[in-house]
Structure 1
């Protein structure tokens, strides 16, 4: 989401008379530094924001984007770095994958161009957005053209495909990708046309609620905001470092906890450094739907809190224990507030990505799922 927001800011600042194109990674087979959904905004003066690789494809992408602008037509380009061809862009740089990139010229007056649709998603509620990007069309597909992006909100969003057969196929694919929480390319065929699309599952940014007011909240919020996560602090407002407000979306008092945004993408971290406060806050956190509840401090301290709550009649269920992370964070030997913040952020990211946070050198399967 951070890259998308940067692209939107650059897009909104485009000077009159300047032309632009959007490059989007719509398919990856094998290894690639960036995955599907990576984007790069290119202006006709050579300025670019975002990225579609680790730097090996950007040079050629600038040329392709300018061609798309000049031709006023979206173009799908395949970069194959698996072939031992010295003339192939990206070969020898270690990617060893096949990457499809869609270059779409942007009509800045069209309020339904791809970047405008991204803007509507960012401005909307914290729902998961599903975007359908047309990447290739053959035959009679009506008004559908490569580069068109459809913000899917239900079966009624598929009327542009003008075919009940293809609409049904797309609906089944979209439903599957939503259940998997993964983006993926897809293709659909009927006798008179062939359509390829990129089904993108676009979740909101991770939302972190820090419950505390000590000085380490400042380091934590600063790092989390650098990741462009949504950050809220709940604590004693009078004791929170005033500079912290620059790195938070909102700061509320303990009495306003129930007013905070809490959804399936939310992590709550208890870090008041006060035993009774953390105990009370754990009870409040457990009443929410947050899938991640972190507790700062040694495990023996957390276990004592759990036992006391059970003795008082608040038994923590097995399901709730699965969403409690205590001690919170990954074991990286963190000592100071900044290192602890790094450990915590990595732990939250690992949990939401359903990873164990261990060294990649010990992973026996590819880092990313391969086709």
Structure 2
């Protein structure tokens, strides 16, 4: 639901009734992960997607039916593949997805929780929504909103200890920017039955910091924005680091790269792309970068530049373990030549590193198409468990 927060927030402000279908869990080669959503309002307008097209029509009808029925109880549906009828509604890729369809009417008791969550996500603030998707009928669909500081809005109305347990677990999901399901056993639920809870996290966009205001950087900024990063360009030369040269960058910084990296905030999702290939910039910058808890550090340069740079880094105390984190020469082997092709090569390596992909051609390969290790799986695998 939070992946379409901008549009849904507008619907809430306009007072529209709508139903939202959210992917709760996936198994096999399903096209979209937990949290992907499709919403339909009372006029039949649809936004979002739950399957990349495979079952959109059937889910659209479920949403319409949920609005027409006048009920407020969510419905959990499973879509899979049938060998007996390959043309039946399902996933031809062979996967399985569980989808929760929730009516959100202006009079719904959880409307305020959804409104607060959508408002926060639309503003780019961190927030998590926890919803009961399996358990006693009277609790289905109940939701609470969790903030990064551990505070929360509303509650499930079952037992205060259940709320505190879910808030703590949802906070861990939020810290990692993860969306998935949480299993709580009968004893832990305090309601006489086990519960399955969907936790949807919305976090600010991850950062991409591009060091070196060169032509390759301009192309990388564009593809970084396309991938959803908040992109910063940093260069010590004011004549090159300008808004005119990088109109799509979120931020342009004129400073020595290592000095800027010392004072800016990074996290486990941040990617650092060093395109300067100049030792006086690269060495102090990479010495610092390779010791930070970031997702990716890549540096541009020829293989000869790479070997020379590694030796310089060793001389300033960078260890072999730290050097092993460095992606250099930066990017995957696509045979790239133009700035745009090179940017695609770099972005491909970033995605492969993030998702656990091999970077090899899928043709003839026997590896899974979807590698995202942080996604929940259905029906057996779950992200978390509380006894």
CA distance in 2, matches of 1:358, 1:161: 50
State the secondary structure of the residue aligned to 1:242: coil
State the secondary structure of the residue aligned to 1:238: coil
Pick aligned residue for 1:359 from 335, 358, 361: 361
State the secondary structure of the residue aligned to 1:160: coil
Pick aligned residue for 1:306 from 300, 303, 310: 310
Farther-moved stretch of structure 1 (42-51 vs 340-349) = 42-51
User: Retained in 2: the 8 A contact 1:27–1:36?
Assistant: yes
Instruction: Structure 1: give runs of 5+ residues left out of the alignment.
Output: none
- State the 1:164 CA deviation: 7.2
User: Retained in 1: the 8 A contact 2:241–2:252?
Assistant: no
- State the 1:147 CA deviation: 5.2
User: Retained in 2: the 8 A contact 1:134–1:149?
Assistant: no
Pick aligned residue for 1:28 from 19, 26, 29: 26
- What is residue 39 of structure 1 aligned with on the other side? 37
User: Retained in 1: the 8 A contact 2:23–2:50?
Assistant: yes
CA distance in 2, matches of 1:87, 1:290: 44
- What is residue 11 of structure 1 aligned with on the other side? 8
Farther-moved stretch of structure 1 (300-309 vs 107-116) = 107-116
Instruction: Structure 2: give runs of 5+ residues left out of the alignment.
Output: 381-387
**Residue 151, structure 1, aligned to residue 155, structure 2:** no
CA distance in 2, matches of 1:264, 1:122: 22
User: Retained in 1: the 8 A contact 2:76–2:133?
Assistant: no
- What is residue 80 of structure 1 aligned with on the other side? 79
Change (3 A) 1:120 1:221: same
- What is residue 220 of structure 1 aligned with on the other side? 220
Matches within 5 A, 1:209-288: 209-235=209-235, 236-240=237-241, 242-255=243-256, 257=260, 258-286=262-290, 288=292
- State the 1:224 CA deviation: 1.0
Change (3 A) 1:227 1:366: closer
CA distance in 2, matches of 1:291, 1:98: 30
Give the TM-score normalised by structure 1.
0.81
Which structure carries more relative contact order (alpha carbon 8 Å, separation 6+)? 2
- State the 1:85 CA deviation: 5.6
CA distance in 2, matches of 1:200, 1:13: 19
Aligned length: 360
Change (3 A) 1:234 1:175: closer
> What's the C-alpha RMSD, in Å, of the aligned pairs?
3.6
**Residue 160, structure 1, aligned to residue 160, structure 2:** no
Pick aligned residue for 1:338 from 337, 340, 348: 340
Pick aligned residue for 1:101 from 99, 102, 112: 99
- State the 1:53 CA deviation: 0.5
Give the TM-score normalised by structure 2.
0.78
For 1:136-195, what per-residue CA distance to the aligned partner results, in whole angstroms no more than 9, with x for missing partners? 3425x6xx4415244275887596364478568758976997899672353543674453
Pick aligned residue for 1:52 from 31, 50, 55: 50
State the secondary structure of the residue aligned to 1:63: helix
**Residue 290, structure 1, aligned to residue 287, structure 2:** no
